[in-house]
Amino acid sequence: MPVNSDSGQPSVESQRGITLAGDLHARPAGALAVAASRFASAVSVSAGGRTADARSVLGVMGLGATSGQHVTVTAVGPDAADAVAAIIAILADATKTGG
Amino acid sequence: MSVGIVLVSHSAELAAGTAHLAGQVSGGTVTVVAAGGTDDGGLGTSAAKVERGLREADTGAGVVVLPDLGSAVLTVRAVLEDMPGRRVIMADAPFVEGAVAATVTAAGGGDVAAVAAAAEEARHARKL
């Protein structure tokens, strides 16, 4: 039986991966953390066998994710699919330019 | 309206540079005020600068203050005693990491308790 949130939407899990086009630096990590906090779902980012809460900018930077590395984004909650899509878009865009 | 951040450092340059970094990483939507150095520009802290910083940073959602070293704590405490009633939390956190974590959490809509907690959790974040 699915868990229902306050919004009445069932809690679901969503997951997608991306291969980074550049290193995951401070500014994209910050953008990712700010974006993750806009969703009700719990979002995590995994790379190289380590996992960080996507809302933790220091945790995301601490992954040390580099160009060419595969990163997995997982969300659990009522808006999991949207959350994963938003985080993947930031990773795709921001790691092209670095910073 | 997000929580404001005040960075109290013994060095004006350290406070300003950390405020710049935190603003860049968080996307520039949060008021981050640097309150560094003495009134005459030397190394030390200034109650007047801290007080101005608190007023400037408080846009209605409260303020989280980060001191760089122990004696900055004394200055902040003295100022807060003269400014009762404001929603201000002083966070016990590493200065740079705490400033970045606090500002990003404020940009994401966190309240004063969440922003202060993010700063204090920075102590456990590994860089390597």
pLDDT averaged over every residue in chain A:
91
- Residues B61 and B30: their CA atoms lie apart, in Å, by 11
The distance of B91 to chain A (nearest Cα, Å) reads 16
The CATH number of whichever domain residue B80 belongs to comes to 3.40.50.510
In our burial notation (b when 16+ CB lie closer than 10 A, e otherwise), range B91-111 reads bebbbbbbbbbbbbbbbbebb
User: Domains of chain A by range and CATH?
Assistant: 13-97 (3.30.1340.10)
How do beta strands A70-77 and A42-47 pair?
A: antiparallel
pLDDT tops 60 at residue A32:
yes
Q: What is the pLDDT averaged over residues B21-25? A: 97
Q: List active site positions of A.
A: 25
Chain B residues in contact with A37 by the CB 8 A cut-off are 105, 108-110
- Residues B113 and B115: their CA atoms lie apart, in Å, by 6
- Residues B45 and B109: their CA atoms lie apart, in Å, by 30
- Residues B84 and A90: their CA atoms lie apart, in Å, by 42
pLDDT tops 80 at residue A89:
yes
Number of domains in chain B: 1
pLDDT tops 70 at residue A2:
no
Q: Which of A30, A38, A64 sits opposite B104 (nearest CB)?
A: A30
Rg (CA), chain B: 13
pLDDT tens digits, B72-87: 999 999 999 998 888 9
The distance of A58 to chain B (nearest Cα, Å) reads 6
In sequence order, the β-bridge partners of residue A70 are A19
Q: Does A50 touch chain B (CB under 8 A)?
A: no
Q: What is the pLDDT averaged over residues A32-36? A: 97
- Residues A17 and B50: their CA atoms lie apart, in Å, by 45
pLDDT tops 90 at residue A92:
yes
Closest residue on chain B to A62 (Cα): B127
Q: Is there a contact between B97 and A62 if contact means CB atoms under 8 Å apart? A: no
Closest residue on chain B to A57 (Cα): B101
The distance of B21 to chain A (nearest Cα, Å) reads 9
- Residues B20 and B47: their CA atoms lie apart, in Å, by 22
How many Cβ atoms from other residues are within 10 Å of residue B124's Cβ? 10
- Residues B60 and B40: their CA atoms lie apart, in Å, by 30
Q: Which of A26, A36, A55 sits opposite B25 (nearest CB)?
A: A26
pLDDT tops 80 at residue B53:
yes
Angle between helices B47-57 and B70-81 (to 10 degrees): 70
| Domain of B84, in residue numbers | 4-124
